[in-house]
Structure 1
């Protein structure tokens, strides 16, 4: 595991090519989260398979969607392959409302059943 960003409100880590956000991921942390993930993605060799895990994001906001879209652009720019995007229930609802899911070039987008609020503490 490698911690890319550690803040009081959010943490970004990578394990086995899975970028994972823990915490709030609100407007204060969105910029640093997007930038840290973008830099990590830029360092990966062409063709690398990566996933995004946002199942531990407690608050769904447009800021989180912005982070996700920045990372998707980085995937495309650096010729990487997005395998899976895991969303928290609040984030899945926001994706459904905004109809942005089709913009995710992932093989699979999931909202794990075990991502209930108790698991996101």
Structure 2
């Protein structure tokens, strides 16, 4: 995996078909995180497939959801297929309350 961002306790790592976030994403970090992931997405080939993994984001945060929505928008524009979105339990609950789970390919994440 390539480290794209490591700041303020938030890490963004990328592999050929996956973006993974860990840490507590707040509004101070959201823009930097969205930008780093967007740069990576812009480098991917149209028609590629990928997974967005926010399973390591434990704090409930609408900032994290904003980043997720920006990345899904960016991927759609670039012609990248998102096969799965993995969310931590707190983010999954927030996504369901916001009604976003129906719009995202949310994957079941096994409990640790």
TM class by smaller structure: over 0.9
Q: Tell me what 1:97 maps to.
A: 97
1:62-121 CA distance string (max 9 Å, x none): 1011000000111111001001100000000001110111222x3xx1242334xxxxxx
Q: Tell me what 2:38 maps to.
A: 38
Q: Tell me what 2:11 maps to.
A: 11
Contact 1:86/1:110 (CA < 8 Å) preserved in 2?
yes
How many residues were matched structurally?
112
Q: Tell me what 1:82 maps to.
A: 82
TM-score w.r.t. the length of structure 1 is 0.87
Q: Tell me what 2:53 maps to.
A: 53
Structure 1: which 5+ residue stretches go unaligned? 116-121
TM-score w.r.t. the length of structure 2 is 0.94
Structure 2: which 5+ residue stretches go unaligned? none
Contact 1:51/1:84 (CA < 8 Å) preserved in 2?
yes
